[in-house]
Structure 1
Amino acid sequence: MNGVPSHLFDAARLGDREAIVKVLEIAQPDIRRYARSTCRGSADAEDAVQEALWLLSRKIGTIRSLTAFSAWLFTVVRRECTRLARALRLQPPQSLAELDLERSFGARPQAELALDIAAAIEALPPHYREVVLLRDLREMTIDEIAASLGETRQGIKAKLHRGRLLVREYLSD
């Protein structure tokens, strides 16, 4: 949340509606990107973003400082993603027809495939996992990843290629 000026944050904390709206507009892209990398699906990510924005609009007065703001907001998003994932696991399929609609990779339902992909990514060595997550989940460009990790563009491309290859091998086994 580097883009929220302190004077705007302070005005929002004091209840200025225009300042609150502006803070929400500035925060939305960052929390949307974080939600996409944290939640299991795009629908859950959007739900988490909406929940976080709604809570922010109601609770901004309780946040003590601008430095605590982003940590608080990202925590809200992470908790909402966890809550949504837990709720999904507890819901059994409605019917056999619904199960057939969810099949997409071999004989595995989409939910099972999503878990397998998550396990494959988790099994990657950390240096590959980080690059794969930044590119495929946070949707950062190769140049952005290289700059954030202090590596060359070619090095990032090689790690991304190798990481994706390892995920494919994991899924084919």
Structure 2
Amino acid sequence: MKQNKEQLIKYACLGDTHALNQLLLVCQPDIRRFARRTCSTTEDIEDAVQFTLWQLHKKIGTLKTISSFTSWLFRIIERECYRLFKVRQSKNIEARADIDKLSASSADIDLKIDLTNAIISLPLIYRQVLILRDIQEYSTPEVAEKLGITVEAVKSRLHRARLMVKEKINL
């Protein structure tokens, strides 16, 4: 797969439209996954993914080396998510008088801290599966491949990890 992706990048840089279209399809899931972790809203995710794919299509010919493709692509999505965040933040500053939002956000922060502590305390085999599947949003077969275990083992460990996290948060 890596070899195939490198060939697609090479041919796309040379102006091959078929290779470019294939590259756009191959890269979209990774771009979307990164945007989900980086952007603040669903709308921003969609906008950032579209912008990044458009930039990839428009500027792939300017890429100097194939090895810099991934970092180049993720810099584009990261900058776009940040730009969209700044736009949204400036709009929110104007409408920030609502005190209820502050108390809700502090409850969210407390929940995030509890959740993070619960995940950190998991045994490694459960923590790896939970992070790959629920946080990094890899599919179950992708997690199984990355960890070198069966799909059934991933499902079992994920179920057990979720139960352990739930127990620790409910304490």
The normalised TM-score by structure 1 is 0.66
Kept after mapping to 2: 8 A contact 1:4/1:27: no
Structure 2 counterpart of 1:13, one-letter code: C
- Alignment partner of 1:125 out of 120, 137, 143: 120
Cα distance per residue 1:101-146 (max 9 Å; x no partner): x97xxx626xx66655555555442857654443334333455434
Q: Contact (CA 8 Å) 1:13, 1:62: kept in 2 or not? A: yes
Q: String of CA shifts for 1:46-100, please: whole Å, max 9, x gaps.
A: 122112112111221122333321222123222322333344334325387xx69
Gaps of 5+ in 1: none
Q: What's the % identity of the aligned pairs?
A: 32
- 8 Å contact from structure 1 (residues 32, 49) kept in 2: yes
In structure 2, give the amino acid aligned to 1:138: Q
Higher mean C-alpha displacement, 156-165 vs 7-16 = 156-165
Displacement after TM superposition at 1:2 (Å) = 3.7
1:11 corresponds in structure 2 to: 11
The structure-2 alpha-carbon separation of the partners of 1:87 and 1:163, relative to structure 1 and needing over 3 Å to count, comes to farther
Q: 1:78 and 1:144 mapped to 2: Cα distance?
A: 24
Q: Do the aligned partners of 1:39 and 1:81 also contact (CA within 8 Å) in 2?
A: yes
Change (3 A) 1:4 1:85: farther
1:39 alignment partner in structure 2? 39
Structure 2 Cα separation of the partners of residues 86 and 130 of structure 1:
33
**Paired residue for 1:162?**
164
Which AA in structure 2 matches 1:92?
A: I
Partner Cα distance (1:60, 1:3) in 2: 18
Summarize the alignment of residues 129-148 of structure 1 with structure 2, pairs less than 5 Å apart: 131-142=129-140, 144-148=142-146
Residue in 2 that maps onto 1:66: 66
What RMSD in Å do the two structures reach over aligned CA positions? 3.6
2:52–2:77 Cα contact (<8 Å) kept? yes
The alignment status of 1:53 with 2:49, answered yes or no, reads no
Q: Which moved more, 1:131-140 or 1:47-56?
A: 131-140
Aligned length: 161
Q: Which amino acid aligns with 1:139?
A: E
Gaps of 5+ in 2: none
Match of 1:108 among 83, 99, 104: 104
TM-score after normalising by structure 2? 0.66
Moved more, 67-76 or 126-135: 126-135
Q: Match of 2:93, SS?
A: coil
